[in-house]
Structure 1
Amino acid sequence: MASRRRMLLKVIILGDSGVGKTSLMNQYVNRKFSNQYKATIGADFLTKEVQFEDRLFTLQIWDTAGQERFQSLGVAFYHGADCCVLVYDVNVMKSFDNLNNWREEFLIQASPSDPENFPFVVLGNKTDVDGGNSRVVR
């Protein structure tokens, strides 16, 4: 059997406060969900190993606070990121409208070598709230 090559990938999750960044990360990594809301202070990260073909990837997923007062921490947390996940709440139009601000702030603070081709993923969250009746972003 061929030896597996391991690679570390740093993923940053950004979006307004309360859009569900922590819940998404916990669901993806631990398969656990909690209805209780607890704001993230600063940043936290979890790791998950994923195999693709003959390679093993360790995803270091950074969950950041959505509050403006923590954005100054960005340079340290964003540095060396390989991907950025932008999250919005489908029931709050402003959280969707703010995605471009999050993207721009990330590019300024992370200073990726090729900003035009840096990988971003956009996730609409909370589609299950109110049976979908509160949804404003379609």
Structure 2
Amino acid sequence: MAYRRRMLLKVIILGDSGRFPSRSPAKMGYASGQERFQSLGVAFYRGADCCVLVYDVNAMKSFDNLNNWREEFLIQASPSDPDNFPFIVLGNQIDFDGGNNRVVSEKKAKAWCALK
């Protein structure tokens, strides 16, 4: 029998919290990333292998705040190579209202990623 080495990855997910319509089912992790948890950043972020930055495609403010989340993560996590630390950007709520309220285009998100 071949020996399998177990590998664990620490992935941090950050972004503005939002409100869910009353008809939506409860979502796990709803409060993660809220400002009240930022004081735990150093201990929580250290040793992360990747950071996922999440924004609401229907809320420009949440997209604009990606810069703050990214910078705060880099400050508190202190990765050894901040210029090459892996970030993933995820546009959320794309299925809400059939995409009619989308304010952050895919093109805009890709341009932001190219700059970062």
The alignment's TM-score, normalised by the length of structure 1, stands at 0.67
Q: Take 1:106 and 1:126, find their aligned partners in 2: how far apart are those partners? A: 23
Residue 60 (structure 1) aligns with:
none
User: Does residue 6 of structure 2 align to residue 16 of structure 1?
Assistant: no
Q: Take 1:97 and 1:128, find their aligned partners in 2: how far apart are those partners? A: 20
Q: Take 1:117 and 1:37, find their aligned partners in 2: how far apart are those partners? A: 32
Aligned residues: 101
Residue 112 (structure 2) aligns with:
none
Q: Take 1:36 and 1:2, find their aligned partners in 2: how far apart are those partners? A: 42
Residue 47 (structure 1) aligns with:
none
> Which stretches in structure 2 are left out of the alignment for 5+ residues?
106-116
Sequence identity, in percent? 81
Residue 19 of structure 1, CA deviation: 7.8
After the TM superposition, which segments of 4 or more aligned residues of structure 1 sit over 3 Å from their partners? none
SS at match of 1:124: strand
Residue 136 of structure 1, CA deviation: 0.4
* Larger relative strand fraction: 1
Residue 76 (structure 2) aligns with:
109
Residue 55 (structure 1) aligns with:
none
The alignment's TM-score, normalised by the length of structure 2, stands at 0.79
The answer to whether the 8 A contact 2:13-2:33 is kept is no
Residue 69 of structure 1, CA deviation: 2.2
Letter in structure 2 aligned against 1:86: L
Residue 26 (structure 1) aligns with:
none
Q: Report 1:1-138 matches (<5 A).
A: 2-18=2-18, 35-36=25-26, 39-40=30-31, 65-138=32-105
> Which stretches in structure 1 are left out of the alignment for 5+ residues?
21-33, 41-64
The CA RMSD over aligned residues, in Å, is 2.0
